Amino acid sequence: MGETDGSGQGPEGTESPTTKGRPKLSVLPLVALIFYDVSGGPFGIEDSVRTGGGPLLALLGFLLFPLIWSIPEALITAELATCFPENGGYVLWISSAFGPFWGFQEGLWKWCSGAIDNALYPVLFLDYLKHSVPALEHPSYRVPALLAVTIALTYLNYRGLHIVGFSAVALAAFSLLPFVAMTILAIPKLQPRRWLVVDLRKVQWKGYFNNMFWNLNYWDKASTLAGEVEDPSRTFPRAIYGAVALVVASYLVPLMAGTGALDRSKTEEWSDGYFAQVGLLIGGVWLKLWIQAAAGMSNMGLFEAEMTSDAFQLLGMSEIGMLPAIFANRSKYGTPTISILCSATGVLLLSWLSFQQIIEFLNFLYALGMLLEFAAFVRLRIKKPDLHRPYRIPLGTFGVTVFCLPPSLLIVLVMSLASARTFIVSGIVILFGFLLYPGIEYAKERRWAVFYSTPMSSGGYSDTIPVISQQDEHVVDEASKSLLKDAAQGSSDGVFKSA
């Protein structure tokens, strides 16, 4: 298959063919990937109207939650992704701030959250398709179809990141166009007073907050493939800004059009998939069918973006010696083959969970990781004030601490609403991570698997961090020379050593 490690250097210092010339992500494909990491369009936000007791809380939620949650997470991602422009993203941030043990836990929690999240999309794709193919209701047809969809989408991911990026651009355009048409057709029917309807007796706070959190998280996911981005110090901030605007607009505009134009819809009718009915009532059968087709394509884009981020996270963890070197093997297309297969296996194993179970489980694990990220962000401002920051949030140490408080409180609120089963399952995952880390360290000592002896010079970290400047030249940042010395204290006979 022509696999390499993507760096021109193999495990234990051996040479291998380089993939240096592989295509890099520019701003537009990165915007599309972030859009699909977070959103994919307004599909799935309908439940916010039902759980919010009417349109008012749903609209307020998609106005206020981005300010409290999305924008802080997005800006922190922009700063830290440009500080550490390598694959692995938040694993590297946590390792730099708190050491490799917590970096590994962050990686495990976020990967599990992502794999659980990605299990939704093949299932939702078939749920939309079954309206035209009723046979998909039966397990004898549904299971093979689920397997076929997962394999096909995994193969597209394997074929190359640039293909995934530009596919995401095309899918985003196709997914959003029917809502542009719906909004235009709804304008003559709009009555703003309908947006103010709320029945507090019908509000389901647990479902409401989980829905809001799920629809507005994962801004940090794209950081896991920062090493595949063209000039990340410029590209990442621009892509983050563009994605925030696109996500908020793609939620608010269709929601305002649908709730403002329809006077006979009941709150209870607003559940997953209801936008297709809204399209029927506003534009007719053709618009309903278009929205259903767009929903199916959107699920494909969501799957591709999530799998890409999850796979490159495993690759990044392998490149700094947290996982065996095999996870960093690249195909001839520059994609991490084993990491992709591992993520696909996780999707297939988790696809039996129900929709609400999936959302609650992934939200809880994701929330744990985000608390650690906010803490790492503040700690790096204190611990490494001179760290090269091509993009920097214009606040001092006290300012960024206050900046992180509102989203942290929101995270605690979402976690406190979790069921006992979610606490138990998440506790098992946490315990597994605490045991797995020393197990991997023991495997390194015993040389049961091949690990990178030192962080690699490209796609990983060495004692000096290459930072891309505005002239695309590598500049050594003296303040960041000790980036992962906590994670790598030398080597012996090519075997990576952790502190």
pLDDT in tens, 103-116: 999 999 998 888 87
Mean pLDDT of 461-472: 34
Mean pLDDT of 215-219: 86
- pLDDT reported for residue 414: 83
- pLDDT reported for residue 165: 66
Determine if the pTM surpasses 0.85.
Answer: no
Contacts of residue 108, defined as CB under 8 A and 6 or more positions apart, other chains included, come to 429, 432, 433, 436
Query: Which pairing describes strands 474-476 and 466-468: parallel, antiparallel, or unpaired?
Result: antiparallel
Contacts of residue 359, defined as CB under 8 A and 6 or more positions apart, other chains included, come to 210, 211, 214
- pLDDT reported for residue 355: 61
Q: What's the full length of the chain, in residues?
A: 499
pLDDT in tens, 247-279: 999 999 999 999 999 876 577 778 777 888 899
Average pLDDT, rounded, for the chain: 78
**Of the listed ranges 91-95, 347-351, 363-367, 472-476, the one predicted with least confidence:** 472-476
Mean pLDDT of 146-172: 75
Q: Where are the domains of the chain?
A: 27-451
pLDDT band at 21 (very low <50, low <70, confident <90, very high): low
Mean pLDDT of 208-214: 84
27-451 is a CATH 3.20.20.370 domain: no
3-state secondary structure of 495: strand
When mean pLDDT is compared over 158-172, 219-233, 348-362, 479-493, the highest value belongs to 219-233
